[in-house]
Structure 1
Amino acid sequence: MAATLCQVMGFILSLLGAAGIIAATGMDQWATEDLFDNPVTAVYSYSGLWRSCVRQSSGFTECRPYFTILGLPALLQAVRALMIVGIVLGAIGCLIAIFALKCLKMGNMEDNIKATMTLTAGIMFLLGGVCGIAGVSAFANLIVQSFQFTTFSSGGFSMYGGANVGGLTGSLTPRYTFGPALFVGWIGGAILVIGGVLMCVACRGMVPDRTRYDGMAYKAASPHSIYKSEKGSRPAYNDSYKAPSADGRQTNQRFDYV
């Protein structure tokens, strides 16, 4: 019962974690403009993994996707790859975990096979969560470096390595801070890791105990045992079993029949 509950809880948490990573990957607010001491307040800009957006004070928002791949920095492409790998591992793990649930009967599937599938799904959840956390942390490090070296009076440093991504660079280069997508990615990756750990723990409780065979105890003979010979006379055989000779007389040849 405990193994089943642990498995179900791990599966539910893994679903939530995978959904969090997917939502974070699709969100645009990975890096939001820092409005503290910002002389320009009529325009608010933010950017994500796939496009950058500018929102005016009137409420009009315009987004521009990144039309280039080679022009983007290598770190941003690495973050994209980590998030995609985390999503793929989480999706495959969820698919395996559905068939591995102990509360569901899938034909004549044995418990040891379900335990192996549960362990496989748990490892995939762990790897997916680690990939998501690593990708979000790498992007957060990029934002920190950009924030430290960017001022409003000089536009010589950009968050994307000086590339004019989305038209956000200029004489007054905005400074970016952590967006909501980073926190969603961190929380989703952490929940996915916790779900993977629960799935791995549930695997141990699902393994059936080894079958015990009831056998007879064998007692070896004592070295001091004395074997006694039987006392008694051998059975006497009468002469009726003597074979007759060729001339009709009985001979002394006997045939013992046991």
Structure 2
Amino acid sequence: MSTTRCQVVGFLLSILGLAGCIVATEMDMWSTQDLYDNPVTAVFQYEGLWRSCVQQSSGFTECRPYLTILGLPAMLQAVRALMIVGIVLSVIGLLVAIFALKCIRMGNMDDSAKAKMTLTSGIMFIIAGLCAIAGVSVFANMLVTNFWMSTASMFTSMGGMVQTVQTRYTFGAALFVGWVAGGLTLIGGVLMCIACRGLAPEETNYKAVSYHASGHNVAYRPGGFKASSGFESNTRNKKIYDGGARTEDEGQSPPSKYDYV
């Protein structure tokens, strides 16, 4: 998959995940009444994060919001916080991802800046997806615990009689929407992080070459060239340059290209 396609797919999945998280948070059917062995079928109850509702057999539905904050269970407040944090991070990541798309040019923005923005939005989407999945899972675990506690309390020690006086709740549609939305957001964030590697410019490595400058004291040794013995110094015409001072006559001929040692 190309970098642009991977980035666009991750962006679209993140949008779907954000929409799903918002819908799941606003839904009232986080927990629905368990109708198994329930003789009362004229009333159907379900609860959400923000209110509880009662639906009658006639079709009339009455919802009542939670009028307290401190009086709510701590787990319910934690689920609220996780879903809100997930939505906020998804919105911020979405705004960053819009400017990070490779198909959109914003002024003189180079690929390295787009790569950093893509990575930032991808991390935000991953955290948002984890928050949504964690919030829904915490609520589901709370439902399972309350369900089995209610079931155990309904059985009496007198002949195993069942008393259907307590209302048991099971999974609602909002839980499945939240799980799917969190998964889509998480996958979208992973794809954005993968696309970041393709947007980052490749670094060019050059082989280092060291240069050694000649010293201040350079000795020139003029002399004749012999094929058998190579270079031989001529002590009579020797020139020595030591710190700019010369000890030989100024009238000597300049050295040839074979005279440097």
TM-score scaled by structure 1?
Answer: 0.76
Q: Aligned partner of 1:132: which letter?
A: A
Instruction: Map residues 53-64 of structure 1 onto 2, 5 A cutoff.
Output: 53-64=53-64
Q: Aligned partner of 1:210: which letter?
A: E
8 A Cα contact 1:152 1:172, kept in partner: no
Residue 230 of structure 1: how far off its partner (Å) = 5.1
Aligned residue-pair number: 215
Instruction: Map residues 110-121 of structure 1 onto 2, 5 A cutoff.
Output: 110-121=110-121
Match of 1:145 in 2: 145
Residue 173 of structure 1: how far off its partner (Å) = 2.2
Residue 45 of structure 1: how far off its partner (Å) = 0.5
8 A Cα contact 1:152 1:173, kept in partner: no
1:68 counterpart SS class: coil
1:150 counterpart SS class: helix
2:203 to 201, 210, 230: 210
Counting aligned pairs with the same residue, the percent is 63
Residue 177 of structure 1: how far off its partner (Å) = 0.5
Q: State the alpha-carbon separation in 1 of the partners of residues 152 and 25 from structure 2.
A: 29
Q: State the alpha-carbon separation in 1 of the partners of residues 195 and 138 from structure 2.
A: 32
With CA pairs under 8 Å and 6+ residues apart, which has the higher RCO, 1 or 2?
Answer: 1
Match of 1:181 in 2: 174
Question: For the aligned residues, what is the CA RMSD?
Answer: 2.9
1:40 counterpart SS class: coil
TM-score scaled by structure 2?
Answer: 0.75
Deviation sequence 1:139-197 (CA, Å, 0-9, x none): 0001101111114985xxxxxxxxxxxxxxxx822111100000000000001100000
Q: State the alpha-carbon separation in 1 of the partners of residues 117 and 209 from structure 2.
A: 39
Q: Spell out structure 1 runs of 4+ moving beyond 3 A.
A: 151-154, 215-220, 227-232, 254-258
8 A Cα contact 1:33 1:174, kept in partner: yes
> Aligned pair in 2 of structure 1 residues 190, 216: CA closer, same or farther (>3 Å)?
closer
Q: State the alpha-carbon separation in 2 of the partners of residues 193 and 230 from structure 1.
A: 81
Residue 52 of structure 1: how far off its partner (Å) = 0.2
Q: State the alpha-carbon separation in 2 of the partners of residues 230 and 255 from structure 1.
A: 17
Q: Aligned partner of 1:19: which letter?
A: A
Q: State the alpha-carbon separation in 2 of the partners of residues 53 and 174 from structure 1.
A: 14
Q: State the alpha-carbon separation in 1 of the partners of residues 144 and 125 from structure 2.
A: 28
Match of 1:190 in 2: 183
8 A Cα contact 1:31 1:179, kept in partner: yes
1:177 counterpart SS class: strand
1:121 counterpart SS class: helix
Q: State the alpha-carbon separation in 1 of the partners of residues 152 and 52 from structure 2.
A: 19
Q: State the alpha-carbon separation in 2 of the partners of residues 25 and 198 from structure 1.
A: 25
Q: Aligned partner of 2:201: which letter?
A: P
Q: Aligned partner of 2:127: which letter?
A: L
Instruction: Map residues 1-258 of structure 1 onto 2, 5 A cutoff.
Output: 2-151=2-151, 172-211=165-204, 229=222, 231=224
Q: Aligned partner of 2:109: which letter?
A: M
Q: State the alpha-carbon separation in 2 of the partners of residues 147 and 255 from structure 1.
A: 111
Q: State the alpha-carbon separation in 1 of the partners of residues 109 and 221 from structure 2.
A: 60
Q: State the alpha-carbon separation in 2 of the partners of residues 216 and 184 from structure 1.
A: 57
> Aligned pair in 2 of structure 1 residues 219, 255: CA closer, same or farther (>3 Å)?
closer
Deviation sequence 1:11-47 (CA, Å, 0-9, x none): 0001111111111000000000111111100000000
8 A Cα contact 1:132 1:189, kept in partner: yes
Q: Aligned partner of 2:185: which letter?
A: L
Residue 212 of structure 1: how far off its partner (Å) = 6.0
Q: Aligned partner of 1:195: which letter?
A: G
